[in-house]
Amino acid sequence: MVIQQPTPEYVSRLDGTATQFQQADGLAFLAHNYAAGRHFFDLKIGDEIKADDKVFHVTEIKQYQALEPDDVKSDFIDLATGEKLTAAQLFEEIYTDPDGLVLQTCIERDGIDSWGRLFVIAE
């Protein structure tokens, strides 16, 4: 099930439910890592995702550490490259493809539910 965001910060806490991220240029869905988002970790490059009557294929999986996990405007570290990005730079990198699909959830580590972010990117 997919629900719309009533506010820009809202993400449904219901299992089996993703929240459509309204600020993305393309399709984007958010889900908590203890609910529907836990399934995002099962996806691999090449996997097929059906959404909005279209078929997308996973092309990238990106992971970032949030330097301030509870702050939506946190800076981030790309776990693959070590590059530091501001929240605005990360948004620009992830959410500006009008034809793409992005799935986002948090990465739990060291007992911190929102330690990082996982992005599954599909075209």
Tens digit of each residue's pLDDT (9 = 90 or more) over 101-113? 999 999 999 999 9
pLDDT in tens, 45-54: 999 999 999 9
Contact 35, 15 (CB under 8 A): yes
Nearest Cα residue to 28 out of 40, 15, 46, 13: 40
| Residue 12 scores a pLDDT above 90 | yes
Task: Assign domain 2-122 to its CATH superfamily.
Answer: Sortase (2.40.260.10)
pTM of the model: 0.95
Enumerate the domain spans of the chain.
2-122
Contact 94, 44 (CB under 8 A): no
Distance (Å, rounded) from C-alpha 14 to C-alpha 24?
22
